[in-house]
Amino acid sequence: MPPAPGPSGRPVPDLSLYLVTDRRLCGERSLLDVVGLAVRGGARVVQLREKRLDMRALVDLARALMGLLKPFGVPLIINDRVDAALAVGAAGVHLGQSDMPVELARHLLGPEAILGLSLERPEHLREAERFDLDYYGVSPLFPTATKPELLSAWGLDGLAALRRATRRPLVGIGGIGPDSAEAVIRAGADGVAVVSAICGAADPLRAAEALALAVGRARRDLP
C-alpha cells in the first residue's frame, strides 16, 4: 500500500518505528548490521544522525545505507545535512531548532523531499506551522542521555496538548522503549523514534520487534 498523503499533499512514510542512528552505541558492531537488523524487526524510517563524521565519510555511509534500505522500501532521512542528502538522493532531511532555516532547506531540497523538524518547546509550534513540513519530532519526550543539553521534557501531557494543536504527524523521541511506546501512541504520536533502544540493544532485531509490536497494539486500540 502506498504511503498516505499528509497535510502537505506529499506522501508521508510509515513513521510508526523510526530509527535514529548512533554508531557509538553500536559498540563493535557495524552500523549497517544494526540498521539491517532493525529494519527486519520493523523499523520503517531510518535517520542518519552522525554529527562527528566529515562530509566524505557521511556521504559514503549514506550511500551504503541507501543500498541496504532500498529492497525494504525504507526511506533514509539525513539529519541536518541538506548537502549530503542532495549528494546521495536521500528521501529527505530532519532539522533541529539550530539547523538550517526550514524555508531554505525546502527551497534546496525541492517540493518532493520529506522534511521534518524537532519541536523542543510549545512555542516552537506557532512558527513551524507556517512552513512546508511533513512531520514534527517531539523532543525529548522523556529525559534521555542522548540529548543532555535539553533540560525539559514534553511528557505525555505535553504530547497530548501538541496533538490537539496540529494536524501534522508527530513522532515522539527521547527515552522511549517497549514499555512506554504504547502510551506514547495513545497520547497522540503517529510513531516513536529511538536511538539507544535499538543501537544500544544487545539484540537489535528483537528490540525492534518489541517496539513495533508495542506500537501496533496501541494503534489497534485507537478509535
What is the pLDDT at residue 5?
A: 59
What is the pLDDT at residue 44?
A: 98
171 Cβ partners below 8 Å, 6+ apart?
15, 18, 116, 135, 136, 137, 138, 189, 190, 191, 192, 193
What is the pLDDT at residue 133?
A: 97
134 Cβ partners below 8 Å, 6+ apart?
6, 8, 10, 12, 92, 114, 115, 116, 168, 169
Rounded-to-integer distance, Cα 207 and Cα 211, Å:
6
Q: Which of the residues 16, 44, 49, 168 is marked catalytic?
A: 49
pLDDT grade for 86, boundaries at 50, 70 and 90 = very high
Q: Residue 3 pLDDT > 70, yes or no? A: no
Q: Which of the residues 44, 81, 106, 147 is marked catalytic?
A: 147
Does residue 147 have an active-site annotation? yes
Neighbours of 166 (CB within 10 A): 15
Q: Say which residue, 165 or 12, is predicted with more confidence.
A: 165
What is the pLDDT at residue 8?
A: 65
pLDDT tens-digit readout, 93-133: 999 999 999 999 999 999 999 999 999 999 999 999 999 99
pLDDT tens-digit readout, 135-175: 999 999 998 765 555 558 999 999 999 999 999 999 999 99
pLDDT more than 70, % of the chain: 93
Q: Which of the residues 16, 118, 139, 180 is marked catalytic?
A: 118
Query: Where are the domains positioned within the chain?
Result: 17-221
Does residue 63 have an active-site annotation? no
Does residue 118 have an active-site annotation? yes
Is the pTM higher than 0.85? The answer reads: yes
Tell me the mean pLDDT in the region 182-187. 97
SS3 for 91-121 is CEEEECCCCCCHHHHHHHHCCCCEEEEEECC
Looking at every residue in the chain, the average pLDDT score rounds to: 93
pLDDT grade for 1, boundaries at 50, 70 and 90 = very low
- Output the CATH code of domain 17-221: 3.20.20.70
pLDDT tens-digit readout, 63-79: 999 999 999 999 999 99
What is the pLDDT at residue 162?
A: 97
